Amino acid sequence: MTRLSSALIGAALSAVLGAVATAQSDRPEVGVSPWGADDEIGRLNLMTPVSQAAILGRISGGAPYDLSVEYFIGMPSWQAAGDPHYRIWMTHTPHGTGVDDPLGLGHAMNDHVSYTGAAVSMYTHTGTHIDALVHFGLNGEVWNGFTAEEHLGDRGWRVGGAEALPPIVARGVLIDLPAFLGVDQLADGHRISRGELVGALASQQVSLAEGDVVLIRTGRMQVYDDAQAYMQNPPGLGMEAARFLIEEGGAMIVGADNLSFEAFPSEDPANYVPVHTYLLAEQGAPIIELVFLEALARDQVYEFAFIGGGLRLRGADAAPMRPLAFPLR
């Protein structure tokens, strides 16, 4: 090997090692909470008694909009990733109770008083739900530097689980992208841009404010009853749009009517869910998915009081919720 070739190899190796070091140093890290070392709820700290009273005082008294979906066997879910489908089964029926007499009440009582009971089983990210900040992390940590090694046990997370998320009372904003773009629903795989969000907000004559719950309509909910169509290559947010909502818009929580919020495939070859890790792990912003926004869009209700809370599933990375939107004066 000549001195020249040795020098070239050495230079190439130095360049590669330098690029690797730079890439490692540029890797995103989890956010450190400005609300203290024990913080588990991130941007939900933007919600205060004053902000809650302000939005509640603006409710018009009209009927609320239900922003949740129905649960049924065969509904859209994450079965492609190996997660359990939604299941419901009867544990008691009037006829079965009469036959088995499980409470020892006798046939006469069971004939007189009918008894029905059911049980359900599902993945925590099924139906309308809110992601806790532990759902995705970076480099072995989740929001605020908590580690799975120290805080994740056999019964779930000891910090940052769904039970930590408080009831949400805040200003809600709908961004209706199909209406702005003049389509029935966004195309398969459409990656929502910052410009589209800005344009839709201007068209709706609505601006974002710090502490908002921002909900994005893709129109995908129109095919919710057809699980395959709903789940197939859905549209979703791109990174620049996510950054706009948090860093420019001041959003506290973000959500959408699709299955996974962000668009796939990923824009980042080093991260298969960059929008999720940016929002949850870096910014401490919970995500609400599978939100029913069709009625709000139909009535062109772009600003409302958002009220909702997830089930207090201790240690869980997400929880079903039934949010409501109340029209404002």
pLDDT digits 0-9 by tens, 43-71: 999 999 999 999 999 999 889 999 999 99
Asked if the model's pLDDT at residue 26 lies above 60, the reply is yes
- Tens digit of each residue's pLDDT (9 = 90 or more) over 284-314: 999 999 999 999 999 999 999 999 999 999 9
Is this model's pTM higher than 0.85 or not? yes
Q: What's at 187, amino acid-wise?
A: A
Residue 45 DSSP code: G
Q: What are phi and psi of 137, to 5 degrees?
A: -135, -175
Residue ranges making up the domain that contains 62: 31-70+125-327
- 11 backbone dihedrals φ, ψ, rounded to 5°: -65, -40
pLDDT score of 296: 98
H or E segment to which residue 34 belongs: none
Over residues 6-32, the mean pLDDT reads 53
Residue in 68, 293, 302, 287 with CA at minimum distance from that of residue 208: 302
Answer yes or no: do 51 and 110 share one domain: no
pLDDT tens, 64-82?
999 999 999 999 999 888 9
Residue 48's Cα: distance from chain center in Å? Answer: 22
Whether residues 93 and 213 share a domain: the answer is: no
pLDDT at 97: 95
pLDDT at 15 exceeding the cut of 70: no
- 99 and 210 in a single domain? The answer is no
What's 106's DSSP letter?
-
Could you tell me if residue 75 is inside a domain? Answer: no
210: Cβ–Cβ under 8 A, 6 or more apart, which residues? 46, 250, 252
The answer to whether residue 7 sits within a structural domain is no
Q: Would 278 be classed as within a structural domain?
A: yes
User: Is 79 inside a domain boundary?
Assistant: no
> What's the pLDDT at 81?
87
Distance CA 231, CA 237 (A): 15
Query: Average pLDDT, stretch 131-142?
Result: 98
Provide the CATH number for the domain around residue 156: 3.50.30.50
Cis amide leading into 265 (omega within 30): yes
